[in-house]
Amino acid sequence: MGGFGSFVGFGARMIFPGPMSMADPHVATALVKKRAELSGDIEATQAKLRQMILDLESLDKTLLMFHPDYKIECIKPKAEDRSKRGEMSRIIPGYCGNQRNR
């Protein structure tokens, strides 16, 4: 494997600007795989976001059925509090350590 500049694979021709070493095809394969995974994650996230928007619209319509004059735009978004995630995993080892000393 050598030469200046090209690597053929994955149904497309990819051009690399310099001489290729033996590791280059493996690196390219790993990068293509990672890009495909990331692209798939983005598509899944977009689909999830679309569903969340539909769910929110449905919730708004239901709320307006019970309270037609409710000003939905005044409801402030509330994000999950991630600051407490993992808090128990920090507390428990300390607690267990204190119990052994008693």
Positions of E strands within 11-98: 12-19
pLDDT of 89 reads 67
pLDDT of 7 reads 47
Distance CA 28, CA 71 (A): 53
Torsion, Cα of 55, 59, 60, 65 (10° steps): 140
pLDDT in tens, the chain (102 residues): 444 444 444 444 555 556 656 668 889 999 999 999 999 999 999 999 999 999 999 999 999 999 999 999 999 999 877 666 666 666 666 655 555 554
pTM value > 0.85: no
pLDDT of 4 reads 44
pLDDT of 26 reads 87
Quick count: other Cβ atoms within 10 Å of Cβ 63? 13
